[in-house]
Structure 1
């Protein structure tokens, strides 16, 4: 069948919501690319089709791979499966970080080629650096780039007060992950990866670290494991050696903040003076803070029903940000219990 006819049928099947017809036509297009010796493109399209995500599959307690694993004591889900929408082009990254990520993506996409040659691809990556500097957002972007669902491990549920239950929960997570292909994100990884020499920790953390190392070493699933931590110095030395790639994130420069503002407000009509004012006011802030301020401005324009950013919008967004930051600073320096300080 001619390519033009295939494309027409592809769009018609989409219009009529005929999933089966869509898959058949897509397979024919992929085969046509193979015949043209466009192997890389054909493999990429085939991978996207095989790993295509339907939000309905991941929204509840059940997935197409069975029930989501739960903590035995509290019956809370141990994972959250997310349909991500960020891409690397949406982020502001240093050249070094971008090059490292491109290498991770390149190897993962050509997993079979490396495996055929007896070479393991990069499949375990450690993200470290201060909070709010893009670690979680980058993991989401990688999932989008690979057209894979993000399997977010919920440490508030995984870590249990019962002896041995945390290790059991970790096994459940990895057993579930082996049934599919994911980008697995262990955020706040130091919660289970702390050094076994830490004198402030009890014996249970040593057992958890040992269990995690054994489980990860024995994991055979074709997934990309990303662990993110704000406290890399607290990690056990043995854990560092398990990662194929380590990427260090840092607080953004003033130019980085400016670039993110321009990306975030790209679809609005904003004056250069407004960009300058935001950049100056947000100097020293994190990417997360910058994104939050820009999100406020975008919401204000959406609620008003126009795309023009006004001076009042800038000042209101910065006022809200300053108020929020002052509250957080008071909490950090107060005598009240604080998670980051405990």
Structure 2
């Protein structure tokens, strides 16, 4: 039993020793940036263990000179705190078990989560977990949901970039705000989600783009490179062809999330139909065929429509009737304008 306990705790101790060793090496070499990076890693490690008091004391020590005065890098620290205003913290609504993913995609996501959860073991061997993910696919097919599910599985804060606050109209404003965002993100284990990533990661060779967006992309690449592995960055794009080629290379995982097949929709409906008390009167495969080619977002909205009608009927209307009515409504909604008239 004693050997088993020692075996379980060994990775954590080794990881902490690895962080301390990095700090000592950086101090001896006089590399202030490396010292800061090592201390930030220790702070993030303590936050992950819920040692908030120690993490706060280390943070204060990092930004205080030996004589008790505030250090010059306090300005950078304050800038990072202000970067919080460009982030929205959301509570994940989805879990990985809720999602229908291609086998290879699920396997890759499971591997990423395992690497993050066992990061101590990896770092004890001089390795870091992967933490940069690009999700590509048409709208409504699970990019945001998957980002939420990864944050939920890792039990860390889930931040979404607020583009309306991030993108400024003055020269250099967006790049400066982007720096503040990354200064904040690097202070704690989290998942930060860039939806519609092409808004800030466009191809720099595009002759139609201004010099400002090129500076933003260059700044973005630098910050992504410097982001510690305990901060997971997930980017999503509906238009992968617009992304800068150098941006692609920064992401260790590039996962496609295409529109669902009829079979995948049937699996999705089957999972949700099981949550109803009554019988829908239609098989999941038949339901998927009746609704036609729709996205996961539309499939979820259909289920919510059924749920609303069920609640409002106070269980007086049979679930079979509600499903039939909603299927008819969705089939009519899917018809282009004027199709009915031309068919007459």
Q: TM-score, normalised by structure 1?
A: 0.72
Residue in 2 that maps onto 1:312: 322
SS at match of 2:247: helix
TM-fit CA distance, 1:124: 0.4
Distance (whole Å) between structure 2 residues aligned to residue 160 and residue 322 of structure 1: 43
Residue in 2 that maps onto 1:295: 304
Q: Is the 8 A contact 1:104 1:122 kept in 2?
A: yes
- In structure 2, relative to structure 1, the CA distance for the partners of 1:128 and 1:318 (3 Å cut) is farther
Q: TM-score, normalised by structure 2?
A: 0.71
Over alpha carbons, which structure has the higher Rg? 2
Distance (whole Å) between structure 2 residues aligned to residue 264 and residue 275 of structure 1: 10
- Gapped regions of structure 2 (runs ≥ 5): 14-45, 53-79, 338-344
- CA deviations on 1:286-341 (whole Å, 9 max, x unpaired) are 111111111111222223333952323442365258538858xxxxxxxxxxxxxx
What are the within-5 Å matches in structure 2 for residues 187-226 of structure 1?
Answer: 187-220=195-228, 222-226=230-234
Distance (whole Å) between structure 1 residues aligned to residue 331 and residue 163 of structure 2: 28
- In structure 2, relative to structure 1, the CA distance for the partners of 1:246 and 1:161 (3 Å cut) is same
Range that drifts further, 227-236 or 294-303: 294-303
TM-fit CA distance, 1:98: 0.4
- In structure 2, relative to structure 1, the CA distance for the partners of 1:248 and 1:132 (3 Å cut) is same
TM-fit CA distance, 1:155: 1.8
Moved over 3 A (4+): 32-40, 46-52, 66-70, 274-277, 305-308, 320-327
- Gapped regions of structure 1 (runs ≥ 5): 1-31, 53-65, 71-76, 328-342
The alignment's C-alpha RMSD in Å is 3.2
Q: Is the 8 A contact 1:257 1:282 kept in 2?
A: no
- CA deviations on 1:22-81 (whole Å, 9 max, x unpaired) are xxxxxxxxxx997485559x99xx9986399xxxxxxxxxxxxx96636xxxxxx41110
What are the within-5 Å matches in structure 2 for residues 120-131 of structure 1?
Answer: 120-131=128-139
Distance (whole Å) between structure 2 residues aligned to residue 285 and residue 109 of structure 1: 35
- In structure 2, relative to structure 1, the CA distance for the partners of 1:318 and 1:134 (3 Å cut) is farther
- In structure 2, relative to structure 1, the CA distance for the partners of 1:129 and 1:214 (3 Å cut) is same
- In structure 2, relative to structure 1, the CA distance for the partners of 1:221 and 1:277 (3 Å cut) is closer
Residue in 2 that maps onto 1:69: 83
Larger relative helix fraction: 2
Range that drifts further, 187-196 or 220-229: 220-229
Aligned residues: 275
Distance (whole Å) between structure 1 residues aligned to residue 331 and residue 88 of structure 2: 29
Distance (whole Å) between structure 2 residues aligned to residue 267 and residue 153 of structure 1: 33
Q: Is the 8 A contact 1:274 1:311 kept in 2?
A: no
Q: Is the 8 A contact 1:51 1:147 kept in 2?
A: no
Residue in 1 that maps onto 2:157: 149
TM-fit CA distance, 1:196: 0.3
TM-fit CA distance, 1:85: 2.9
SS at match of 2:203: coil
